[in-house]
Amino acid sequence: SRDGWPNTAVEALACGLTVVGSGFNCQPFINNVTIVKSLRQHFMDKDNLVAPKKYYSMEGFSWERVADKLLELFAQRHKEQKKNYHEEWIR
């Protein structure tokens, strides 16, 4: 119902779990061997381990917060454009 909002990933992050994803479609993972090799390689790389300093909390992220931020940005932009319009009109 909320296209583009990865609920499963957000819920996992909120629980402190690691989320594994890629910028590719599922085609390369149709072959089970490929996905197992990719996951093994990912988890063997110590840089990919979740450390306390790397922990990404989803606390505070909600549609309400996103909407509030967007309204803030729109209001700021509107104020800037209104000011620019009046300055141009005076010239």
Same domain, 50 and 64: no
Same domain, 50 and 91: no
Same domain, 78 and 54: no
Same domain, 4 and 46: yes
Same domain, 42 and 14: yes
Same domain, 52 and 66: no
pLDDT digits (tens, 9 = 90+) for 15-54: 777 777 666 666 665 667 777 887 788 777 777 665 544 4
Residues 6+ apart with CB under 8 A from 39: 20
DSSP code, position 91: -
Same domain, 34 and 67: no
pLDDT digits (tens, 9 = 90+) for 46-60: 776 655 444 556 666
Same domain, 13 and 55: yes
DSSP code, position 84: H
pTM (two decimals): 0.36
Supply the range of the domain harboring residue 72: 60-91
How is residue 63 written in tokens?
């549609």
Q: Is the pLDDT of residue 9 over 50?
A: yes
pLDDT score recorded for residue 71: 95
The gap from C-alpha 4 to its chain's centroid, in whole angstroms, comes to 10
Same domain, 47 and 71: no
